[in-house]
Homo-oligomer: A and B are copies of this chain.
Amino acid sequence: MNQQEQKQQDRQQSIRTLRELIGDIQTCMLTTHSAEAGLRSRPMITARHEFDGELWLFTHADDPKVDEIHQNPVVNVVFAEPKEDRYISISGQAQLVRDQQKAELLWTEGLDEWFPAGPSDPSLVLISVHVNEAEYWDANVKHFSDAVKALFFSSTAPRHDKLEWSQTES
């Protein structure tokens, strides 16, 4: 296996690991830069079943976070399940996408309350978060310090597919 194939295989493994970790946590917290507040988070429903290195979220076009992402696409996504001591931090770049076909593919039941018109709702905007780095803490082991594992994708060239893998302790 050459280096390129190895990287590709590592990437696929990272993606599977992250997908398993997210598991049944359907709601994440998306943190964006806000001119007024500094850093602001809000809960969002994810279309996780499609996770292939990018997270997809749904929002209304007139929501403040759309402007915030437009001004600064650097975001963080948290999945937290304190009752199971499971925490995931995803550092990424957000992109605003209008794509009705994609919205139909990613549609989940929970979204009906937000977009009664369904995936063809003209006010619907997709947020695609390209994962630069992901880190998780899972207390199947006792201490966070033992449990921390990092999935490093690429920290410099998020759109260049230079995905890497390493494990660190913090």
Interface of A toward B, CB cutoff 8 Å:
25-27, 29, 31, 34, 36-43, 63-64, 74-76, 78, 80-83, 85, 87, 89, 91-93, 113-114, 132-133, 135, 137, 142-145, 155, 170
Q: Which residues of B contact A83 (CB under 8 A)?
A: 81, 83
Q: Say yes or no: A37 contacts B132, CB within 8 Å.
A: yes
Chain B nearest CB: distance from A113 CB in Å? Answer: 6
Contact sample, A vs B, 12 pairs, CB 8 Å cutoff: A27-B80, A29-B80, A31-B39, A38-B76, A38-B91, A40-B89, A41-B89, A42-B87, A42-B170, A43-B87, A83-B83, A113-B145
Give A76's nearest chain B residue, CB to CB: B39
Contacts A42-B135, A137-B42; is A27 near B170 (CB within 8 Å)?
A: no
Identical chains bound together, number:
2
